Chain A
Amino acid sequence: MRLAGLFSGGKDSAYAIYRAMQLHEIASLITIKSKNPESYMFHTPNTGITQLQAEAAGLPLIVAETEGKKEAELADLKEAVKKAVELFRIEGVVTGAIGSVYQAARIQKICDELGLWCFNPLWQLDQLQLLDDLLKNKFEVIIVGVAAYPFDESWLGKRLDRKAVKELAGLKEKYKINPAGEGGEFESFVLSAPFFRKKINVKKSSARFSGNHGVFEIKEAELE
């Protein structure tokens, strides 16, 4: 089956796409760039760089912009999926939804309206298991946004390696955070994945942090 992967540039969507690739063809990626950093549906930091990730993966990318208003952003997503049907003859969509019934139900409805299959291969997956799977499969991931205590600026740009995963497991025990950031505690960016032909090299970046919120912005990056 030909599928489109909803791709934020972060670890969950990338890993879901990788899982789907084991059984189906990923014909296209779709990125929704939300102007609203508090979007209910979409991951927001660094969505501008997904073009470089798509190039690294050798996959075509559809980018759609949305104002990020609660239900209007769904109409924008639906249009982008429709475009993937027209351009790449996709028969289904794959998402990185893990536990959000809000996100999952809305994407299910869009797929249903368009007569498409909807696959959520990470659905209900244990979050520490997910982090472990990423390491085992050699995903290279950095943290590009934090939005909850006790995450401080030291997390911005941090690589999600074995040591960081251990720290996240500790924070889960101590503060009951979602260790894979499913509750919006942090956002990630994939520098390299098993389906990338090249790696992303971040050449210039900046970090901003205030209160419990911080963003690691990739200003310049290249494929290597």
Chain B
Amino acid sequence: MILVVSTCADKLSEEEFVKPIVGIAGKCDVKHYTNVKDVSGYDKIIICGTALKDNEYLKNINGFLFLKETISPVLGICSGMQILCLLYGARITENKEIGMTKIKTLRENPLFSGNFEAYSLHGNGVDNLNEFYVLAESEESVQAVKHKKKNLCGIMFHPEVRNEKIIRNFLDFA
């Protein structure tokens, strides 16, 4: 079973950031992070993004400690990537990108390859990524990472918009 986790402080944002992921993932459980207790029964976990104005998740990082315990593959999207990186020693920086962005793959991975365009919607970036490999970047920032030892991937852009295949690849191959 797949677990889709909402990081949205406002329920209305879930229509925009969680529902499209559920539409791609198909049969799955959907929970807000404040309601996630035990994730041991899930094969894959996706942490969804949230609204540009929403930084509430950064104040509640301890609510995501279940991500340190799981052995299942995790994909963090936008705020989800920021959370994964924060849990493993990274720092949040200011980095705003809105709209279609050129992405360059730096390291071979099962999710995507080559150069492509993707939809970005974030006000934060990440640095101090010693525990991660950088998989992709834009001109401005790091766009995708994988933890060096664990099966945890983060993507800063929104693959549910115009790059749905990345989510399917995560579900099929990660």
- Is B16 in contact with A123, judged by CB distance below 8 angstroms? yes
Q: State the majority secondary structure of interface residues on B.
A: mixed
User: Interface extent on B, as a size class?
Assistant: 20 to 34
1/0 per residue, CB under 8 A from A, across B78-122: the answer is 000000000000000000101110000000000000000001010
Interface centre among A101, A105, A111 (most CB of B within 10 A): A101
Partner of B99, one of A20, A105, A119, A126: A105
Question: Does A61 lie at the interface of the complex (its beta carbon under 8 Å from any beta carbon of B)?
Answer: no
Which residues does chain A contribute within 8 Å of B150, judged by CB atoms? none
Interface size on A, residues (CB 8 A): 26
Collect the chain A residues with CB atoms within 8 Å of residue B52's CB: 108, 111-112, 118
**Which residue from A109, A117, A123 sits with its C-beta under 8 Å from B98?**
A109
Contacts of B123 in A (CB 8 A): 112
- Residue B51 is within 8 A (CB to CB) of chain A in the complex: yes
Distance in angstroms from B37 CB to nearest chain A CB is 25
A117 touches B53 (CB 8 A): yes
Q: Does the CB pair A124–B53 fall under 8 Å?
A: no
Assembled-state Cα–Cα distance A10/B54 (Å):
29
Given contacts A111-B52, A124-B160, contact A101 B100 (CB under 8 A): yes
Query: With A101-B162, A108-B121 as given contacts, are A122 and B15 in contact (CB-CB < 8 Å)?
Result: yes
B119 to chain A, nearest CB (A): 5
Chain A residues with Cβ under 8 A from B160's Cβ? 124
Q: Convert B8-22 into 0s and 1s, putting 1 for each residue whose CB lies closer than 8 angstroms to a CB of A.
A: 001111011001100
Q: Is the CB of A119 within 8 A of B51?
A: yes
Q: Residues of B at under 8 Å CB distance from A?
A: 10-13, 15-16, 19-20, 23, 51-54, 96, 98-100, 119, 121, 123, 160-162
9 tightest A-B CB contacts, nearest first = A105-B99, A124-B20, A121-B15, A123-B16, A117-B53, A120-B16, A23-B12, A119-B12, A108-B98
Extra contacts besides A19-B15, A112-B52 (19): CB < 8 Å: A23-B11, A94-B12, A101-B162, A108-B52, A112-B53, A112-B96, A117-B51, A117-B53, A119-B10, A120-B15, A120-B16, A121-B15, A121-B16, A122-B15, A123-B15, A123-B16, A123-B20, A124-B161, A125-B19
